[in-house]
Structure 1
Amino acid sequence: MEDIIGIIIAPIILFMIFVAPIWLILHYRSKKQISQGLSEDEYGNLQELANRADKMADRIHTLESILDAEAPQWRNKV
Structure 2
Amino acid sequence: MEDTLVPIVVVGILFLGLPWIIFHYVTQWKKNGSLTVEDENLLDEMHVLARRLDERLGTLERILDTQDPAWRPRTADRTRDEEWRRDN
TM-score by length of 2: 0.64
Gaps of 5+ in 2: 76-88
Distance 2:29 2:9 in 1: 29
Gaps of 5+ in 1: none
Q: In structure 2, what is the equivalent of residue 9 of structure 1? A: 8
Runs of 4+ in 1 over 2 A off after TM superposition: 5-9, 18-23, 75-78
Matching of residues 1-78 of structure 1 within 5 Å: 3=3, 6-15=5-14, 16=16, 18-34=17-33, 37-76=34-73
Identity of matched residues, %: 27
Task: Report the CA distance between 1:48 and its aligned residue.
Answer: 0.9
Which structure exhibits the higher relative contact order, with contacts defined as CA atoms closer than 8 Å and separated by 6 or more residues? Answer: 1
Distance 2:10 2:45 in 1: 50
What is the number of residues matched between the two proteins? 73
Distance 2:27 2:56 in 1: 45
| RMSD between aligned residues | 2.5
TM-score by length of 1: 0.70
Distance 2:55 2:27 in 1: 43
Task: Report the CA distance between 1:77 and its aligned residue.
Answer: 5.6
Structure 2 counterpart of 1:23, one-letter code:
I
